[in-house]
Amino acid sequence: MVTVLDVQDLRTYLPTKKGIVKAVDGVSFHIDEGEIIGIAGESGCGKTETMLSIVQLIQPPGKIMSGRVIIDDEDILQLKANSPGMRSVRGRKMSFIFTDPKTSLNPTLAIGRQITEVLETHLDMDKQAARERTVELLDMVGVPDAGARMDDRPFQFSNGMRQRVMIAMALACNPMVVITDEPTNVADITTKSQLLELMKGLVSGLNTSLIITTQNLGMLTRYARRVYVMYAGRIVESGPTTVVFNNPCHPYTLGLLRSVPRLGVNKSIKKLNPLLGFTPDLIDMPPHCAFLPRCTYKTERCEREPWPDMRPVGEDHQIRCYVDLREIP
């Protein structure tokens, strides 16, 4: 497999009056050509900040402290965030589908103009060619009567249709990687499934790689080939999705999976099994494992030694933990 995006030891810190928030603290992962991967974890674990760091959209006073983001054999963190080179990378090689299309689209511009602008800027298309391509894109993502509707404003579309417009915009330049941040949060349950199937089919047809960041583990089970589980700004478990979710080796991953409601699996289960406790204060991180206060499998070693590095527990399967749940009776 050809690796199209390689993120190495990425660190993004956010200075505040109370101290420095280590939002992304040494994150490394990769994605191969045509692959779909998932980034999972609770709110505040660092998923979104990681994705924004990759495309250099971190807002001041936040700052990318170190790391490498390699795409097409180029470390794009060496480019200035607002440079023409970085803007070209964002539109041509990578694109981003944000959570809420209502706030991501320009409310004053027709949706067609917002897409033609991308094509004219990054592919140097003339206005007529860009307009024709925009109609094709809107039709491809399932916007009815695309030719007529491209002159409508965002408020004239439902949330589901607005997200289809965002997908069309993201795929306009046939990017190598598409990043999504909770892409179906604002859609109803039926529309969620339709949007995910749409994205899966489109990236497969274009051989584009897709990163899905979400709290929805069921979504990743269905669509992602590999998954990275994040906690407190770090990846704590990674591997093939079926392996990680069927045989989790990190206590945090197990806690996430146990808290997911299941119908028809075991009728004796009368209540949910929530993950107890709270996420740590990223300003005042403990010297040991950040999950230790919530962990039911902690040992004396966990309290005594620093948070370990990732270690292999199987083929392409790694955890950041001294304990391997498979070894516990």
Q: Tens digit of pLDDT for each residue in 12-52?
A: 999 999 999 999 999 999 999 999 999 999 999 999 999 99
Check pLDDT > 90 for residue 188. no
Mean pLDDT over 139-167 rounds to 93
Give the number of C-alpha atoms closer than 13 A to the C-alpha of residue 61, restricted to the C-beta side: 8
pLDDT for res 198: 87
- pLDDT band of residue 329 (cuts 50, 70, 90) is low
pLDDT for the residue 284 = 86
pLDDT (0 to 100) of residue 47: 95
Q: Is the pLDDT of residue 265 over 60?
A: no
Lowest model confidence (mean pLDDT) among 85-89, 110-114, 147-151, 199-203? 199-203
Q: Who has greater pLDDT, 198 or 132?
A: 132
Task: Give residue 199's pLDDT.
Answer: 86
pLDDT score recorded for residue 208: 92
In angstroms, the CA 155 to CA 170 distance is 19
Burial of residue 17 (CB within 10 Å: 0-12, 13-18, 19+) is: exposed
* Average pLDDT of the chain, as a whole number: 91
What integer is the mean pLDDT of 54-58? 96
pLDDT tens digits along 91-105: 899 999 998 888 999
Q: For residue 261, what pLDDT is reported?
A: 76
How would you classify the pairing of strands 94-97 and 177-181? parallel
Q: Whose CA is closest to 232, among 14, 22, 1? A: 22
Task: Note the pLDDT of residue 200.
Answer: 86
Q: Is pLDDT of 137 > 70? A: yes
Identify the residue with better confidence: 1 or 145: 145
The per-residue pLDDT for 95 is: 95
Query: In the structure, what pLDDT confidence band is assigned to residue 202 with cuts at 50, 70 and 90?
Result: confident
Lowest mean pLDDT among 78-82, 265-269, 317-321: 265-269
Name the CATH superfamily housing domain 1-99+179-329.
Answer: P-loop containing nucleotide triphosphate hydrolases (3.40.50.300)
Distance, in Å, from the CA atom of 77 to the CA atom of 56, rounded to the nearest integer, reads 8
How confident is residue 167, by pLDDT bands cut at 50, 70 and 90? very high
In this model, does residue 283 exceed pLDDT 70? Answer: yes
Alpha-carbon gap, residue 244 to 237, rounded angstroms: 8
**CA-CA distance, 192 to 202, in Å (whole number)?**
15
| Average pLDDT value for residue range 231-249 | 96
pLDDT of residue 10: 98
pLDDT at 249 over 70: yes
Higher pLDDT, 258 or 52: 52
For the residues 57-68, what does the mean pLDDT come to? Answer: 95
pLDDT range class, residue 267, cuts 50, 70, 90: low
